[in-house]
Amino acid sequence: MDHTAFAKRVLLASGIVLLVVASAGLLYVARNLLPLIFGSVLIAVVLNQLADLMGRWVPWDLSRNFRAGLVVSTIAVLSSLTIYSFASSAAQKAAQFNDRIESSVQEAFKSFKQQPLVEDHLKDDAKLSSMLPSSAKSFGLAKNFFASAFGGVADFLILLILSIYFAISPEKYRVGAIRLLPTAWREKTSELLSESSKTLWRWMIGRLIAMALVGIVFGIGLAVIGVPMPMELGVFAGLVTFIPNIGGIAAVVPALLLASQEGSTAFVSVLVLYLVIQTIESYLITPMVQQHQVELPPAMVILAQIIGGLVFGFWGIVFATPMFAVSMLWVKQIYVEDWLES
């Protein structure tokens, strides 16, 4: 009997080890999917909070699933109408933007050639085309670009579909995940999931406030300076502000390229406008919002974005900050309070 019991314990331990190794391997292989799952949970939290707010404001007694479906349908209709309103001029705007960017790059190349150190090492008939990749390399770059584009569309569809399913039936997935844990852990995990939902909602409110302010101020500033397409650039700046720190850099690049065609004064004005907005957003708007929402150390946010990008790729950078906010909550509740300080 002793040998039989020992053999059972060995088999059980071996099975647990194999299960842990297999789970770790699966998580490593599917690591690019993890931020998409987290992002869909974030969107589902927002949709559910909106559904709860609708339940408070609307006098009719509607079921939670119906309210969630109504929120999803309303957002879908509004998004479709917004896209349709810009569809008529989208191609023209895109062509104008492409022409302006190309002209700006050409002007920048001419200015670059006129520099003394560069001019001595370039032939008189050197052109921009001579410095571009060969046709074979260009084909490879184009193939990679389209593969990335289609991959991005697939990722977006996965994010959208999972968000809708999580928003319509959140308790089904929540209860199912909790039941996979030992009974002693279930109550604490349920509390942490509820706190995580509140944390994500508060963080999202803070981001939406910052996005709206940055987009409006940046668009108005570009219009005053005289940069083409200020509204489109303002909307773009507001959207990319969802990603703290990195989003601001992505927002100013197309604005600077278009401003370079209007002269050095416009270029410097856009640069100053960007620095002023980033300073106000970093040192005034974000701290004021975080006092009422989620307070995150700026240096740790940057480190989280770097680690998220290295481990999970593009989507890891996009959702690095909310993942960091939830991680801080879990570390505080489980490691600090329940283990270190208990």
Question: What's the rounded mean pLDDT across residues 258-286?
Answer: 82
269: CB partners within 8 A, 6+ apart:
225, 259
Question: What's the rounded mean pLDDT across residues 83-111?
Answer: 61
Residue in 147, 154, 199 with CA at minimum distance from that of residue 327: 199
279-288, 289-298, 321-330: least confidently modelled range: 289-298
The pLDDT tens digits for 121-152 are 555 444 444 544 544 554 454 445 445 545 66
Residue in 205, 197, 198, 202 with CA at minimum distance from that of residue 174: 197
Mean pLDDT taken over the chain: 77
Residue in 226, 235, 313, 239 with CA at minimum distance from that of residue 273: 226
Of residues 218 and 289, more confidently modeled: 218
* CA–CA separation, 201 and 181 (whole Å): 25
Predicted pLDDT at 91:
54
Q: Quick check: 77 pLDDT over 70?
A: yes
Of residues 26 and 66, more confidently modeled: 66
Of residues 32 and 138, more confidently modeled: 32
Would you kindly state where each structural domain of the chain is located, as residue ranges? 1-30, 36-85+130-180
Q: Quick check: 161 pLDDT over 60?
A: yes
55-69, 140-154, 197-211: least confidently modelled range: 140-154
Question: What's the rounded mean pLDDT across residues 52-66?
Answer: 78
Question: What's the rounded mean pLDDT across residues 235-251?
Answer: 83
CA angle (211 as vertex; 210, 214 as ends), nearest 5: 80
| Strand, helix or coil for residue 181 | coil
* CA–CA separation, 338 and 44 (whole Å): 29
DSSP 8-state assignment for residue 244: T
Predicted pLDDT at 128:
45
Question: What's the rounded mean pLDDT across residues 20-29?
Answer: 72
Predicted pLDDT at 297:
76
Q: Quick check: 112 pLDDT over 60?
A: no
Q: Quick check: 73 pLDDT over 60?
A: yes
Q: Quick check: 330 pLDDT over 50?
A: yes
Tokens of 206: 């803070």
* CA–CA separation, 125 and 238 (whole Å): 42
Q: What is the pLDDT confidence band of residue 240, given thresholds at 50, 70 and 90? A: confident
Entry field: residues in the chain: 342
Predicted pLDDT at 181:
84
Question: What's the rounded mean pLDDT across residues 331-335?
Answer: 84
Q: Where does residue 220 rank: exposed (0-12), middle (13-18), buried (19+ CB within 10 A)? A: middle
Q: What is the pLDDT confidence band of residue 220, given thresholds at 50, 70 and 90? A: very high
Question: What's the rounded mean pLDDT across residues 50-79?
Answer: 81
* CA–CA separation, 115 and 213 (whole Å): 39
Residue in 181, 174, 185, 199 with CA at minimum distance from that of residue 329: 199
Predicted pLDDT at 110:
65
Residue in 265, 260, 253, 264 with CA at minimum distance from that of residue 218: 253
Predicted pLDDT at 125:
46
| Structural contact between residues 247 and 241, judged by C-beta atoms closer than 8 angstroms | yes
Q: Quick check: 23 pLDDT over 50?
A: yes
Dihedral sign computed on CA atoms, order 26, 28, 29, 35: positive
Share of the chain above pLDDT 90, in %: 3
Q: Quick check: 250 pLDDT over 70?
A: yes
Report the first-to-last Cα separation within the chain, whole angstroms.
41
Single-letter residue type at 329: L
Long-range contacts of 254-258 (CB under 8 A, 24+ apart): 254/97, 254/101, 255/218, 255/222, 255/227, 257/100, 257/101, 257/104, 257/105, 258/97, 258/100, 258/101, 258/104, 258/227, 258/228, 258/229, 258/233
Question: What's the rounded mean pLDDT across residues 168-196?
Answer: 87
Tokens of 20: 């842990």
| Residue written as token pair 């006092």 | 291
Q: Quick check: 302 pLDDT over 50?
A: yes
